[in-house]
């Protein structure tokens, strides 16, 4: 499974979990939601010096740096996993990738909210 598939699974699974919890509350099977915040994930990477968001398989397999980032809706980090696959990356490049990931995750959380009707 490449990073894009794993991150899409995390983002989609949150929507399914939220939907299930909402149903359980509506059925009086759960008193309150255990969900504290939204969660979404993206892959980012550097290919030939260019930072990219949401790598597809071809990009993921050819990138110099590959990173998966999982964040909460409030902007907290759940997971950051980065690998220098072709060339080592600098602290500045890591910052650029994290900034790109944060932007993508904000968009994903907005899409999750919309899908859930919130």
pLDDT in tens, 33-52: 999 999 999 999 998 889 99
Quick one: pLDDT at residue 72? 98
Residue 3: pLDDT band (50, 70, 90) is: low
CATH assignment of 3-115? 3.30.230.70
52: which residues sit within 8 A by CB, 6+ positions away? 44, 45, 46, 59, 63, 100
- Beta pairing class for 50-53 and 39-47: antiparallel
The domain segmentation of the chain, as residue ranges, is 3-115
Instruction: With beta carbons less than 8 A apart as the criterion, state whether 80 and 11 touch.
Output: no
Distances (CA, A) of 46 to 20, 56, 68, 102: 37, 12, 12, 16
């Amino acid at each position: 499974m490449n990073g894009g598939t794993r991150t899409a699974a995390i983002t989609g699974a949150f929507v399914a979990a939220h939907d299930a919890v909402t149903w359980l509350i509506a059925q009086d099977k759960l008193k309150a939601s255990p969900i504290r915040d939204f969660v979404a994930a993206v892959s980012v990477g550097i290919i030939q010096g260019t930072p990219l968001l949401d790598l597809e398989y071809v990009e993921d397999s050819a990138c110099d740096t590959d990173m998966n980032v999982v964040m909460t809706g409030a902007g907290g980090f759940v997971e950051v996993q980065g690998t220098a696959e072709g060339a080592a990356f600098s602290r500045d490049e890591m910052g650029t990738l994290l900034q790109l990931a944060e932007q993508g995750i904000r968009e994903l959380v907005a899409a999750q909210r919309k899908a859930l009707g919130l």
